[in-house]
Homo-oligomer: A and B are copies of this chain.
Amino acid sequence: MSDQYEDQSLCPIVHSTGLVGDRWSILIVRELLMGQGRFQDLQAQTGATSQMLSARLKRLEADGIVERQTYSEKPLRYEYRLTAKGLHLMPVILALRTWGERWVKPEGAPAAVRMFHRVCGSELELDGNCPVCRRLAPWTEMAGRPDEAWLTERKTRAETFTENLKKAACGARESDQ
């Protein structure tokens, strides 16, 4: 599919998938929505290689979906954040969540995140329906609370990742000699 074709099509799906139509971009957006914006966190939680992550972040930045911000001047360190355009991908992530929980995840597994209706405090159904307000809650009124099991999974993944980094560094030093 040529760029021309993509730019000129009236189909919004063509345009959307042109920017976020791949696994890594979506997982990066998920992670940024979770509040994790540092390179290593993104790498650990998405499972992308550093060069894949670097390439995707550059593209997402060029497309105005994320922005890079300095969080430390010395040493110079950056983190990534969603722009307004990126934040508005939340409904896409939520739709993938709903489908994944219902149609893909093994039965009986707990939901990774429980969603609540901020205006009334009650827990939302998987499709976003509020049983108290008796209507679909807009995503701007939702608040998520991650399940303990999922937090544990994430913590484990982060630890495993840094351990592997250390091992690799050790190996490098040994072979230096």
Residues of A within 8 A of B (CB): 1, 5, 9-19, 21-23, 26-27, 30, 47, 85, 88-89, 91-105, 109-112, 127, 129, 135-138, 147, 149-150, 153
How far, in angstroms, from A72 to B99 measured CA to CA in the complex? 33
A11 touches B150 (CB 8 A): yes
- Kindly report which residue of chain B lies nearest to residue A47, judged by CB atoms: B1
Using known A-B contacts A85-B103, A99-B91, determine if residue A30 contacts B13 with beta carbons closer than 8 Å: yes
Residues in B with CB closer than 8 Å to A99 are 12, 16, 88-89, 91-92
Chain A interface SS verdict (over half): helix
Using known A-B contacts A22-B23, A104-B18, determine if residue A13 contacts B85 with beta carbons closer than 8 Å: no
- Kindly report which residue of chain B lies nearest to residue A31, judged by CB atoms: B13
- Number of this chain's copies in the complex: 2
B88 touches A102 (CB 8 A): yes
- Kindly report which residue of chain B lies nearest to residue A136, judged by CB atoms: B136
Cross-interface CB contact of A21 among B18, B22, B88, B94, cutoff 8 Å = B22
Residues in B with CB closer than 8 Å to A100 are 11-16
Residues in B with CB closer than 8 Å to A89 are 99
How far, in angstroms, from A86 to B15 measured CA to CA in the complex? 21
Q: How far is the CB of A36 from chain B (nearest CB, A)?
A: 13
- Kindly report which residue of chain B lies nearest to residue A89, judged by CB atoms: B99
How far, in angstroms, from A10 to B113 measured CA to CA in the complex? 9
How far, in angstroms, from A84 to B121 measured CA to CA in the complex? 32
Q: How far is the CB of A78 from chain B (nearest CB, A)?
A: 24
Q: How far is the CB of A27 from chain B (nearest CB, A)?
A: 7
Question: Could you name 25 residue pairs across A and B whose Cβ atoms are closer than 8 Å?
Answer: A1-B47, A10-B109, A10-B147, A10-B150, A11-B112, A11-B150, A12-B96, A12-B104, A12-B105, A12-B111, A13-B26, A13-B30, A13-B93, A14-B100, A16-B96, A16-B97, A16-B100, A17-B26, A18-B23, A21-B23, A21-B26, A22-B22, A95-B95, A135-B135, A136-B137
